[in-house]
Amino acid sequence: MRAVLVANPKGGSGKTTVSINIAAALAHAGRRTLLLDLDRQRSASTWTSIRPGHLPPVYAFRPHPDAQPPKGDWLVIDSPAGIHGKTLSHALKLADRIVVPLQPSLFDMSATSEFLGELLREKVVRGRRVRVGVVGVRVDPRTKAASTLAAFLGQFDLPVLGYLRDSQTYPNAAFNGLSIFDMAPSIVERDQASWQPIVDWVTAE
């Protein structure tokens, strides 16, 4: 089973949004997709519980010390704010890709800086078994904010996988158990296109 961890120490950075959209993209591609919800707030689990039954399913589960985790083609791991220590090491053991959603603000970038440094010092990341990529959240790629973000990530030699614009489509979709990939392309064509390089990077061999 392949796995992607979605992580950023800051709350509200877009982890659950990125997790559910990647999971839905994989489900639409016909993969049996599991969503490990490490957050006590259970946002990802709530989303799967209201997801309409006719859509490609995403199976959410919570960590459980006694239960065998379910099996699938893909595991998407949605993590809580401030993930560190044992929980982070455990998630790193499972994952072969890490996606870090990041908003181009001073506060978000400074809060994420230490975490990125920590990640890049991990043996599995240095050895390139686990790859790290960043998704710009609430950012238009043509703006100064986008170049500021790219310059910041340049210090870490990290790629920007793609940019997600600031759009009410994200909270609105989540309210209905939907992702960008469940909506009519006539409405969200641009957004679906902005996800493509992100999904391609996650699924690349």
Ligand X SMILES: Nc1ncnc2c1ncn2[C@@H]1O[C@H](COP(=O)(O)OP(=O)(O)O)[C@@H](O)[C@H]1O
Q: Which tokens in the block code for residue 168?
A: 């009410």
Which residue in this structure is represented by tokens 């904010």? Answer: 145
Instruction: Output 21 or 43, the one with its CB closest to Mg ion.
Output: 43
User: Could you list the residues that contact ligand X (CB under 6 A)?
Assistant: 11-17, 43, 137-138, 164, 166-167, 170-171, 174
Instruction: Output 102 or 130, the one with its CB closest to ligand X.
Output: 102
Closest separation between CB of residue 130 and Mg ion, Å? 21
Figure out which of the listed residues 10, 15, 51, 97 binds Mg ion, where binding follows CB under 5 A: 15
Contact status: 16 vs Mg ion (CB under 5 A) = yes
Figure out which of the listed residues 43, 48, 103, 179 binds Mg ion, where binding follows CB under 5 A: 43
The one-letter amino acid code at 93 reads K
Q: Which tokens in the block code for residue 16?
A: 């659950």
Residues facing residue 131 across a β-bridge = 97
Instruction: Output 16 or 112, the one with its CB closest to Mg ion.
Output: 16
Give CA angle at 195 (48, 62), nearest 5°: 25
Q: Which tokens in the block code for residue 55?
A: 């859509």
Closest separation between CB of residue 44 and Mg ion, Å? 7
* Residue 167: contacted member of ligand X, Mg ion, none (CB under 5 to 8 Å, by partner type): ligand X
**Rounded distance, CA 46 to CA 117, Å?**
32
Instruction: Output 11 or 154, the one with its CB closest to ligand X.
Output: 11
**Rounded distance, CA 135 to CA 159, Å?**
9
Q: Helix, strand or coil for residue 61?
A: strand
* Binding footprint of Mg ion on the chain (CB under 5 A): 15-16, 43
